[in-house]
Chains A and B, each alone.
Chain A
Amino acid sequence: MKQLIGGFVLVLLFGACKSNNTVKILPIYGSRQAVTKTVNGQQVTDTVYQTIPAFTFVNQYGDSTGSKNLQGDVYVADFFFTTCPTICPVMQRNMLNVYNAFKDTAGFKIISYTIDPKHDTVPVLKKYADKLGISGNSWWFLRGDKDIVYDMAAKNYLVAVSQDSTAAGGYIHQGYFVLVDKQKRVRGAYDGTDMKQVNQLIDDIKTLRAEPAAK
């Protein structure tokens, strides 16, 4: 009997150790396809994942920025507009926690795309950033062509965004924070209005930053 208990405890301990040692790997979202190519005369099949396409927009400082400036960065993206009366203030309040956790971390950025580029001009975005207390280059508020932004939201970031004159503020959008890895693949989506999920995001950013860049 004693041996049995001893064995049981051992198994328990082993189990505990095991779960501590497993490295968490975040899932990769989006469509994927197997691509077969010939390398050195041998057929090699590789999985190609969906990535965020190249884009060039303008940030709150009036600088032209885009995917080129995100090379090798882990970043979080969301969609908002400065006059949004509904979920944006909650999202930005939570995103401020993410900002404060990583603002001095190189290789990490927050990208907020405006979905109302007509109103949210560069000076408007700058003022908004200033009032939120954002400085430096770790959180960009980007303004780009509306159609491209909406298209990217739906197809690449998998976030629904639409214009609707009946909605408060004139737009409907989901409050997801989308986590993108160094290879521009979507690795997570978190409800930006839910503090618990945002705390999970902060943990996952650390996990993702520790992930080796090479496949």
Chain B
Amino acid sequence: MKLKIIGSICLIFVALVYSCQSDASIEFNRYYSSGNMVYQNHCQNCHGAKGEGLADLIPPLTDTAMLKNYSIALPCIIKTGLKAEIKVSGKSFDGEMPAANLSPIEIAQVVTYVTNSFGNKQGLTNSDQVGVDLGKCGQ
């Protein structure tokens, strides 16, 4: 009996917490989970399920400092691809990343996913921000 009461109190508590989730975190979760799907469809083949990359051919997505430095450039890189050599986690990569034909909202979702997975924790990137960033490369 006691267990039942405690159990139901816990349940109510969990429900309360859940319903009290802030709008911001709901938005984040929506971006993150959609971003996971975009990642699987467009990025995972090369960058790997854990963002581990592939040897010296494909860079990993685990270099948090680098992702932060590139945060404004990321939408353009995803949209138009990358040909220039880059240094990631101390290794240099010069292969070509193909352009992914994604909409600004998809780019925002996948950026949110990548920058909050694989040991990264950089919060939400929304589609408005992506729209501004894409303007910088004429997209």
Interface residue ranges, A against B (CB under 8 Å): 83, 85-87, 89-90, 92-93, 96, 128, 130-133, 168-169
Contacts and interface: CB of A to CB of B under 8 A. Distances in A.
A132 B55 contact: yes
Contacts of B98: 85, 168-169
Interface string B63-98: 000000000000000000000000000000001101
Q: Which 10 A-B pairs have the closest CB atoms?
A: A131-B56, A89-B46, A85-B98, A131-B57, A132-B55, A133-B55, A90-B45, A89-B54, A89-B45, A93-B54
Contacts of B58: 89
User: Chain B contact residues: over half helix, strand or loop, or mixed?
Assistant: loop
Nearest to A92: B54
B131 interface: no
Interface residues of B, number: 11
A87 B56 CA distance: 17
Interface of B: 45-46, 48, 54-58, 95-96, 98
Contacts of A83: 96
A131 B96 contact: no
A168 B56 CA distance: 22
A85 B96 CA distance: 9
Nearest to B52: A93
Given A131-B56, A132-B57, A93 B96 contact: no
B54 A87 contact: no
A121 B66 CA distance: 33
Nearest to A193: B45
